[in-house]
Amino acid sequence: MPRTALLTALLILVVGTGLVFLFLAAPREESRGGTSTVVRPSFTGYGDDATPSWTLRATKGTLDGETGTFEDVEIVLHSTGGSDLTARGRTFTFDGTYGTLSGEVKVERGDGFRLEGESLTFHEPAAEIRTGPVAIHSRGGAIQAAHLTYEARTGRAFVSGGFTALVDRPALRVRGETAEEADGQLVLEGNLEIEREGESWRAARVEVDEDGETVTLLGDVEGVLPEGQIAALSLTLDADGAAAARGVHLVLARSFLGENHGP
């Protein structure tokens, strides 16, 4: 054998032996039944376009085929057009399609969106999370909701089953059936009841801007105020008061005209 070929063969043998050693020396313990324990595992899932869809990290995990259980978990859901969402919890169990994160679950997004709950379900094929009773916080306010679905790829959050929302500025309490949050804007729908100090409103739809400073009521808006009653197709509430537009009908209370005004 030529000397060059011999050296090449020896080099391949040495490198190959080193790679095998590194694999065998990895922090992994095989146990009976085909399960294995891994230390500080990290996994990444990819979408149909070959871009990262989610990343899971943990301090320790047990694997058995496509199923697994992990401890002290962080799951990052990668967004294609906005901020990534990071979920943390004590334990995570996965069956190959669905996973459950539980134990002091906290979820955060870079733009101020965050939520807290007892547990959440991760649907791997859709790269989305679902949760039961949950408290959601954003820059403009907070929502207590029965159910939440969050789509990682679009960065949209959907609330169903009823909710109570608190808007910071102007200070409002809103009760309704469904809500959607995307890019910092909040849209509330479904038999909405809106309360502000001394005022009550009803509307089909409420839109809250990114900073929570302007709230727009839409669709057969009705309001009861100390000054009287108002109906309109559109109405805007902010720190300065209310401004109605389109189809406005106003009924003033007698007190608005002054005590000395005649009958």
Please determine, for residue 197, whether its predicted confidence score (pLDDT) is greater than 50.
Answer: yes
Question: Is residue 175 within 8 Å of residue 159, measured between CB atoms?
Answer: no
pLDDT digits (tens, 9 = 90+) for 22-47: 222 334 444 555 789 999 999 898 87
- First-residue to last-residue Cα distance in the chain: 119
Lowest mean pLDDT among 8-12, 117-121, 187-191: 8-12
Distance CA 226, CA 248 (A): 17
What are the structural domains, with CATH classification, of the chain?
Answer: 29-122 (2.60.450.10), 132-263 (2.60.450.10)
Distance CA 129, CA 126 (A): 9
pLDDT, mean of residues 61-65: 90
Question: Is residue 146 within 8 Å of residue 163, measured between CB atoms?
Answer: yes
Please determine, for residue 209, whether its predicted confidence score (pLDDT) is greater than 80.
Answer: no
pLDDT digits (tens, 9 = 90+) for 67-95: 999 999 999 988 876 688 899 999 999 99
Distance CA 136, CA 179 (A): 11
**H helices present in the chain, as ranges:** 3-24
- Say which residue, 198 or 32, is predicted with more confidence: 198
Distance CA 20, CA 10 (A): 15
